[in-house]
Chains A and B, each alone.
Chain A
């Protein structure tokens, strides 16, 4: 029983990964009827990756960042720009032309080369997060102050991206892009789509394993210690701000990778992915899935997005907002551990209570009869 509790999350994740791995096969066998569901599952993989990042910083370390959309979009824009430049062969894109530019601006030049672009997908969100984290955590800004500031930063980033329209195409974003494996649209390119899907799945598994590795050892204990008693951790001689900054950067990089995966399946990236509401939507996945457990983040991301995918057609799209709002609110109010918490704690606790009560009545009867 004890080993099940310890291994349960990993087994659960293995099951999710196995089901995902079967999705393309099911499409081939005709059980799934359209290839759009595979594309959508690909996006869900990206969402699960960013959810793991948020869980690391929020669930484990207790720092609520309302700005992960920014890192997600930064990674996404890096990837999108590389793909766009592949298409134009290193020349300027349409929107830059409209913006009045005659040659490729210096900031986008490195994106001509695949290895450099890959490094930048990790380096850009990482550097931004490091700078922000360094200044904020050094001064021991914490709790809701950090959340409010991260929210304002996201908003500032969003405004700047829209204002720099010749570089970023403003509100429209970078659209109509192919994937790193070329076009995946249509029956002819099915194989490419499957390959892309498996690559993403592999990335998710690697990220999951890395997150499990980070949180299982001494480092994971330290993160939880910072969450539950920051001052005590300081007094124990740990440099809390450095640890916080490190995990913040890790989480931002994860979000950046997720953004890069997302772009491949979505075919476009827009500034709406860096809004505050989009960032909080990511937090909602983690909260409902179960904060403080990596598997919870994965479950939450898949569950909510699949529900949304199925419900947001037709008249249900209006009701969906009510459902998600109410579910989120109730989770926060009464089920702090989310779905995972309900399964691992609340149900056993309730069962225990029930058992005790039954036992109690039996004993009472016995004593009564004497």
Chain B
């Protein structure tokens, strides 16, 4: 029983990180049909920004506020990746609308450049972020211990989800965004500036990767390949969930996250990941478009 609860908790924790990375992917893929292979690198940038903010606090600010660095790092990481995403959209992605496969390849080129830049700036050795002291330890209920930083990540994902929900379903911008997603030409006819919507959407997606980077920074050392570890699972979560629905992404990430943890109980972690991916691929045999599909009669959807 204890083992089961622990697995469940770890599963939810892993799912929430996958969810945070795949949210951004789902939004950009769903809205703009652009596959952003550099998404993992935005996650890496977010993680490095957390490190930078921490170094700044250590060197320039009194020790008493040292723990607050993490609170400052989240908006900072979001801001930096938002701006980078906006630039990327402006100069690269905007040439690639309607060319899904090419967008995948071009952003891979970008991700090669970003990885090398990270190696040049921060070195090839991984850097570590010390978790703020209020996240040390954990709560113990019965025989199970839940660590604070994993609980904090789950909370953070919940907050992000809430904001995305507000933006997408309760704001004017979200209405425009969904309109463009469902029928781009018609939305343009109605006077929506779809270029602007695209740009902001892509930037938000990248910003989410930055926040995901903050949470990843708590869990282990950061190096230039940290994004690659999460990106395959995130892509699969998006495909499994189905494109264009937030709920699909949530379910997709939860399934992949918890399935990997539960399979891990019976075998090694690498084999577990491989098995889960194979199961997902088999599942896609049954429903090639994922769990949730926006119904459409057009041939190429």
Q: Identify the A interface with B (CB < 8 A).
A: 62, 64, 135, 139-141, 143-145, 147-149, 151-153, 155-157, 159-160, 162-163, 231, 276-277, 280, 283-284, 287, 318, 321-322, 324-329, 332-334, 336
Could you tell me if A326 and B116 are in contact, using CB atoms closer than 8 angstroms?
Answer: no
Min distance, Cβ B1 to any Cβ of chain A, angstroms: 29
Main secondary structure of the interface of B (DSSP, over half): helix
A residues in contact with B228, CB < 8 Å? 276-277
| Pairs A–B under 8 Å by Cβ, sample size 23 | A62-B101, A141-B288, A144-B35, A144-B100, A144-B101, A149-B239, A152-B277, A153-B277, A153-B281, A155-B274, A160-B270, A160-B271, A162-B270, A231-B299, A276-B228, A276-B232, A318-B120, A321-B112, A321-B113, A321-B116, A329-B113, A332-B102, A333-B96
Q: Identify the B interface with A (CB < 8 A).
A: 35, 92, 95-96, 100-102, 104-106, 108-113, 115-117, 119-120, 228, 232, 235-236, 239, 268, 270-271, 273-274, 277-278, 280-282, 284-285, 288, 299-300
Could you tell me if B268 and A144 are in contact, using CB atoms closer than 8 angstroms?
Answer: no
Residue from B92, B106, B120, B232 in contact with A155 in the complex, judged by beta carbons closer than 8 Å? B232
CA distance A325 to B109 in the complex (A): 4
Could you tell me if A333 and B288 are in contact, using CB atoms closer than 8 angstroms?
Answer: no
Known contacts A160-B270, A325-B110, A332-B96; 10 further A-B pairs (Cβ under 8 A): A145-B239, A145-B284, A148-B236, A151-B232, A163-B270, A163-B274, A283-B105, A322-B116, A325-B113, A329-B109
B residues in contact with A149, CB < 8 Å? 239, 281, 284
Could you tell me if A156 and B274 are in contact, using CB atoms closer than 8 angstroms?
Answer: yes
Could you tell me if A328 and B105 are in contact, using CB atoms closer than 8 angstroms?
Answer: yes
Residue from A135, A139, A328, A333 in contact with B112 in the complex, judged by beta carbons closer than 8 Å? A328
CA distance A208 to B219 in the complex (A): 49
Residue of chain A at shortest CB distance from B93: A333
From known contacts A144-B104, A163-B271, A321-B115, infer whether A152 and B110 are also in contact, taking CB-CB under 8 Å. no
CA distance A145 to B236 in the complex (A): 9
Residue of chain B at shortest CB distance from A148: B235
B residues in contact with A333, CB < 8 Å? 92, 95-96, 106
Min distance, Cβ A288 to any Cβ of chain B, angstroms: 10
CA distance A156 to B260 in the complex (A): 13
CA distance A143 to B99 in the complex (A): 10
CA distance A328 to B38 in the complex (A): 14
A residues in contact with B300, CB < 8 Å? 231
Could you tell me if B106 and A329 are in contact, using CB atoms closer than 8 angstroms?
Answer: yes
A residues in contact with B92, CB < 8 Å? 329, 333
CA distance A283 to B281 in the complex (A): 23
B residues in contact with A336, CB < 8 Å? 102
The residue among B95, B101, B117 with the most chain A CB atoms within 10 A of its own CB is B101
B residues in contact with A140, CB < 8 Å? 288
